Amino acid sequence: MKECVIVGYPNSGKTLFALNFASFLGSKSVDITARSYDGLLTCRHLSIADAKTELCSMALHKTRLLQSMVLKMPIGKATVTFKLTDTCGISEQIHSDQSIRCAMAQTLGLVRCADFILHVIDLSRMRKSEAPGNNQIDQEIYQYGTARQNYIMLANKTDLPMVKETITRLTAEFPHAQIIPISALHSDGFKEVKAYVARNI
């Protein structure tokens, strides 16, 4: 089974994207398998609404372990299953909390072996960071992903005002990336994401 890993800066909208994408594919509920950095597995069955209430937050590093869902996608007359894995956000700073440091290391380890990388960019954060090169983590994910050629960039939070010009800047800073503008909150752009995933699973 192919695995798509969702990576990006903390609070970029990775978990909300994962859950709303599952809903977009027709899931009313999800079985979430969480894997901690020390290998402990826990499995839970949640409705999409309950999962969003419990797992999504404006607080940084709400997600501190790998959270995987097995989803189904119709492709032609067939139905294909794939694994979608949400991860701990990665930042430049060495975090003071050991569990978050371990979760970031766990994320980086998974990126190296995942079949596909879905890189979520927070357009509102990028807009605040006007100087080119200030997005070191996003640059490193981009460089690794494009080198492996199993990578797509999701430019999130298009529903917010004053971010449209940021997409133009995004294409200049990441010239070799395939970029899909999305709103994880409103599921905008998900048809294009689905088409990309379908071509690669």
Q: Could you tell me which of 1, 195, 191 has the C-alpha nearest to residue 81? A: 1
Do strands 3-8 and 41-47 pair parallel, antiparallel, or not at all (unpaired)? unpaired
Indicate which CATH number applies to the domain containing 98.
3.40.50.300
76-91 residue pLDDT tens: 888 999 999 999 888 7
Residue 64: its pLDDT value, please? Answer: 80
pLDDT in tens, 42-86: 999 999 999 999 999 877 667 888 999 999 998 888 899 999 999
pLDDT (tens digit, 9 = 90+) per residue, 183-199?
A: 999 999 999 999 999 98
pLDDT above 50 (res 28): yes
| pLDDT confidence of residue 103 | 82
Question: What tokens were used for 65?
Answer: 């372990």
Strand 78-86 relative to strand 116-122: parallel, antiparallel, unpaired? Answer: unpaired
Mean confidence (pLDDT) of the chain = 89
User: What are the strands, taking DSSP E only, across the chain?
Assistant: 3-8, 29-35, 41-47, 66-75, 78-86, 116-122, 151-156, 179-181
Q: How many C-beta atoms lie closer than 10 Å to residue 172's C-beta?
A: 8
DSSP helix/strand/coil, 179: strand
> pTM of the prediction?
0.91
Domain count, the chain: 1
Pairing between strand 29-35 and 66-75? antiparallel
The range of the structural domain enclosing residue 133 comes to 3-200
Q: What are the tens digits of pLDDT across the range 101-157? A: 888 888 888 999 899 999 999 998 876 665 444 578 899 999 999 998 889 999 999
The pLDDT of residue 100 = 77
Mean pLDDT within 18-27:
96
180, 189 Cβ separation under 8 angstroms = yes
Give Cα 105 distance to the centre of its chain.
Answer: 16
